[in-house]
């Protein structure tokens, strides 16, 4: 896990924890609080799912770029050996 991913994940977890604490400390009826927690959990899950998709896309992009570099180096090495 790279630094950017750790930072994004940390911010997301901190935001979710802050929202949960804020909801628990707010003076409301139990049913309203339950609805807010449920909605907050859905929002957090949606954001987390988005981060997972973004991470997969970044990993795929990195893999593709790395493979291109490896292919290029192999080609250059092959050309060098044949001279």
Look at the block and give the residue holding tokens 């790279």: 2
Q: State how far the Cα of 55 lies from the Cα of 2, in Å rounded to an integer.
A: 10
End-to-end CA distance of the chain: give it in Å, rounded.
41
- Burial (Cβ within 10 Å: 0-12, 13-18, ≥19) of residue 78: exposed
- More confident of the two residues 23 and 13: 13
pLDDT band of 24, cuts 50, 70, 90: confident
Mean pLDDT in residue range 32-59: 85
Alpha carbon separation from 40 to 43, 46, 49 (Å, rounded) = 5, 10, 14
pLDDT tens readout for residues 47-64: 888 888 888 898 999 999
Q: Domain extents for the chain?
A: 3-81
What pLDDT does 11 receive? Answer: 84
Q: Indicate yes or no: pTM above 0.75.
A: no
């Amino acid at each position: 896990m790279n630094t950017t991913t750790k930072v994004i994940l940390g911010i997301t977890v901190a935001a979710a924890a802050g929202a949960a604490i804020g909801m628990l400390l707010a003076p409301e009826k139990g049913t309203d609080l339950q609805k807010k927690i449920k909605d907050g959990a859905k929002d957090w899950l949606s954001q987390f799912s988005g981060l997972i998709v973004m991470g997969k896309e970044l990993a795929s992009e990195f893999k593709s770029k790395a493979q291109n570099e490896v292919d290029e180096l192999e080609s250059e090495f092959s050309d060098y050996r044949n001279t």
